[in-house]
Each structure stands twice: as structure tokens, then as C-alpha cells.
């Protein structure tokens, strides 16, 4: 199921990210801030275990989160993973390097580094456009014994949402926006440009 987070704070940060006039410094701050709020929504129904703890005045029963794995795509998703690990320091992190063939737009895997643990896995990708990268990543996760539970993105395309919800109906998608179009190169329109280039300040021109 797709969850579009329309909270004013999320939409304010999304507007900053979309704005071509936003400099890298502010782009970085907004990307990390919006990731925090999207993760908050994604983890609303995550699995927990009851635990008794000792306070200074007695015993109390609380909840602790079960094992979590965050997987991201190189390189644009690295800031999202860093934010996730700051919020959930006991979580595991992993990477997949996937690039798209410029003509066929078919995903090509060139790097995989995943933790040697099994558990609920959440895929972090700022721009989910054709869905090819996410589908490939989920296949890799399943082969490694991880259970994909959710996808967190800043912007998803309508096409990607339709593909993912049909192929993986049990995997939640949390995003700040669903944009209607892809251009001939497979980029989301209007989107926000190349997220990695804008974050690292490496735009050409």
C-alpha cells in the first residue's frame, strides 16, 4: 500500500528540495529532515517486543523494536541511510549499486554489500522512477533471506507505484509525493532533478 505523507512539514521540505534555486547546503538539510519524518511514518507499525525495565522508582513495561535492516542504493540514498542509522543506531545497514542502461533503462547490478543477518528490511531510495532498481534490490534481499517490509522514497512515479503495489502488495511504500510522468530518460517529471548531484553539489553546468 502506498502512503503519501501530506503533513505540512514534509511538504514544506519537499518544496525546498524541488526548487532548482536551493543550494546544496539547504538541500542536504531538507533531505535529512524529510527522511526523518518519512521514516517515522514507515515505522508506525513495525514489529516490537515487550520488555521490562527498572526505573529509579520501580519496574515498568515497555516496547523495544525488533531487528531492522536498512538497505539503500548507491549513491543518492546514502544520506537517507545515514539518517536512518542516526535514528535507529541498533539497525543494520547495507548497500546495492544499481545503474540503469541509458537506452533500455534496464537495471544493472554492479555492487552488493548486505549485512549477514535476516530480518525486516526497508529499502531507501530518494527517487523511485521506473521501479526497476527497487524490484532488482528486493529480489537480492529475498535471495539473502531478508524480508522486504517497506520502501521509503522522497518522490515516486505513478508508474513505479503501480508496478510495486501489484508485484509486492504486502510491501508498504511511504513517500512525500507521487508524480505522474517519466521523461524519455526515465527521470521523474517534475521531480527534483538528480538527487545525488544536488546533494553532493556535483551538477554539471
Give tens-digit pLDDT for 182-202.
Answer: 998 889 999 999 998 999 887
Do residues 136 and 143 make contact, with C-beta atoms less than 8 angstroms apart? no
Whole-model pTM over 0.75:
yes
The residue ranges of every structural domain in the chain are: 2-45+67-198
Structure-model confidence comparison of residues 141 and 172, the more confident one: 172
Q: Categorize the per-residue pLDDT at 147 as very low, low, confident or very high, splitting at 50, 70 and 90.
A: confident
CATH number of 2-45+67-198: 3.40.50.2020
Nearest to 150 by CA among 17, 1, 26: 1
The top-scoring range by mean pLDDT among 11-15, 47-51, 114-118, 197-201 is 11-15
The long-range contacts involving 31-34, CB below 8 angstroms and separated by at least 24 positions, are: 31/79, 31/80, 31/126, 31/154, 31/195, 31/199, 32/79, 32/82, 32/83, 33/9, 34/10, 34/154, 34/176
Amino acid at each position: 500500500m502506498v502512503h503519501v505523507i501530506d503533513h505540512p512539514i514534509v511538504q514544506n521540505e519537499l518544496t525546498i528540495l524541488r526548487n532548482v534555486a536551493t543550494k546544496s547546503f539547504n538541500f542536504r538539510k531538507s533531505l535529512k529532515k524529510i527522511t526523518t519524518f518519512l521514516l517515522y511514518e514507515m515505522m508506525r507499525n513495525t514489529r516490537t517486543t515487550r520488555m521490562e525495565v527498572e526505573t529509579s522508582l520501580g519496574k515498568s513495561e515497555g516496547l523495544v523494536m525488533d531487528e531492522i535492516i536498512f538497505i539503500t542504493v548507491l549513491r543518492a540514498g546514502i544520506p537517507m541511510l545515514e539518517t536512518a542509522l542516526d535514528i535507529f543506531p541498533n539497525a543494520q545497514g547495507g548497500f546495492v549499486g544499481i545503474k540503469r542502461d541509458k537506452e533500455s533503462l534496464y537495471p544493472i547490478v554492479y555492487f552488493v554489500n548486505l549485512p549477514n543477518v535476516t530480518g525486516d528490511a526497508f529499502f531507501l531510495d530518494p527517487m523511485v522512477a521506473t521501479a526497476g532498481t527497487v524490484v532488482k534490490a528486493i529480489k537480492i534481499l529475498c535471495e539473502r533471506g531478508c524480508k522486504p517490509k517497506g520502501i521509503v522514497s522522497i518522490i515516486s512515479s505513478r508508474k513505479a507505484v503501480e508496478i510495486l503495489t501489484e508485484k509486492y502488495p504486502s510491501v508498504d511504500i511511504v513517500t512525500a509525493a507521487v508524480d505522474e510522468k517519466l521523461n524519455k530518460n526515465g527521470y521523474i517529471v517534475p521531480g527534483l532533478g538528480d538527487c545525488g548531484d544536488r546533494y553532493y553539489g556535483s551538477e554539471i553546468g
